[in-house]
Amino acid sequence: MRYVIYILTLFTFHFAFSQKDEDTIPHLDLHKIALINQTDSYITFPTDIGNIEPLMFEANVNPSFVVRERKDSKLMAVLTAQIIIRMFNEESFPVRTPSYIPQISFYYVANKTDKLNCLVLFGKLAHHSNGQDGNFYNEDSTINLQSGNFATNFFELGFLNTKYSNKIKAIKTFKSSIEIHPKSWMLQELKGQYSGLRWHNTFTAFKFPLSTHENKRANFSLKAEVTILLDNFNNMDVFDLKRFNGSLTFYYHPKFLEDIGLFVQLHHGIDYYNIYFERQLSIVRFGVMTETLRF
């Protein structure tokens, strides 16, 4: 009888601690994986360091609307009306040629070994324009950055591999995708000078407290992105360093803030702000970022 009680006691303790560990582990479903892949909403401080004109701020507004049959669906769609705005630190603080990037993305769970390790396939269909209708070029043959028309359409295909490290309490995701802008889908003036074939690779890590997981949110996250421009444009050499674009973003969520945190970002590569695409940026920026992703 004594041995039976001893065995039952060990079993009880094992179950209790296992249950505690289970409760502290973040749960990953398709909705959360999709949110990890969506571009973050943020606003920068007027303290950019690098070769960009003085800005009051840059803001990325990126709400996501989920379409699915039920919470455990293996297939899901996400509608996004993304807008990027730059307010220039000039007289009257103008906002010039915002980027409008409405898009629809589809996610499908291809393989899920457990609730934390998942392989997801995704596809995206998007439009990118600046809402202007002026001539693309100025009279001196330079690009009209003030009111020149910019428009292109593209699709993106790729996968997301998500894993969880119980040792360091971190969710790790790796994304790889190909972005294609068919020539018939873009403005005539963009053909030959705007990259229509891009290979994206992104690594993201969300770090949780080592002791508990009470807040169901990451203490901080790290995102590293590399994009390689693969097609022939602007007579660029195959191994030209301008084909390689990258950014590194560090995000920290202080305990005293509710749904936003602080971030610092290093970016080097082409300017992603619509008709400003000919420029090469090397900047360091600071700002606040929304924290809508809860586990």
Tens digit of pLDDT for each residue in 279-289?
999 999 999 99
Nearest to 212 by CA among 20, 19, 32, 18: 20
pLDDT grade, residue 255 (50/70/90)?
Answer: confident
Q: Which tops the pLDDT comparison, 238 or 57?
A: 57
Instruction: Judge whether residue 17 has pLDDT over 70.
Output: no
- The per-residue pLDDT for 206 is 86
Q: Please state which of the ranges 25-39, 119-133, 251-265, 266-280 shows the lowest mean pLDDT.
A: 25-39
- Where does residue 163 rank: exposed (0-12), middle (13-18), buried (19+ CB within 10 A)? middle
Helical (H) or strand (E) element with 15: helix 2-24
Query: pTM for the complete prediction?
Result: 0.86
Spatial contact of 45 and 286, defined as CB atoms under 8 Å apart:
yes
Q: How confident is the model at residue 20 (pLDDT cuts 50, 70, 90)?
A: very low
pLDDT at 292: 61
Strand, helix or coil for residue 152: strand
The pLDDT value recorded for residue 260 is: 84
Q: Contact at 8 Å (CB) between 263 and 253? A: no
The confidence score (pLDDT) of residue 21 equals: 47
> What is the structure's pLDDT at 19?
40
Q: Comparing 285 with 28, which gets the higher pLDDT? A: 285
Q: How far is CA 154 from CA 103, 183, 206, in A?
A: 10, 10, 29
Whether 49 shows a pLDDT value over 90: the answer reads: yes
Residues 96-104, mean pLDDT to the nearest whole number:
95
For residue range 51-88, what is the model confidence (pLDDT) as tens digits?
999 999 999 999 889 998 888 889 999 999 999 999 99
In the chain, the domains with their CATH numbers are 26-290 (2.40.230.10)
Residue 12 binned pLDDT confidence (cut-offs 50, 70, 90): very low
pLDDT exceeds cutoff 50 at 154? yes
What is residue 71's predicted lDDT score, i.e. its pLDDT? 81
Q: What would the mean pLDDT of 196-215 be, rounded to a whole number?
A: 78
Banded model confidence at residue 235, pLDDT cuts 50, 70, 90: confident
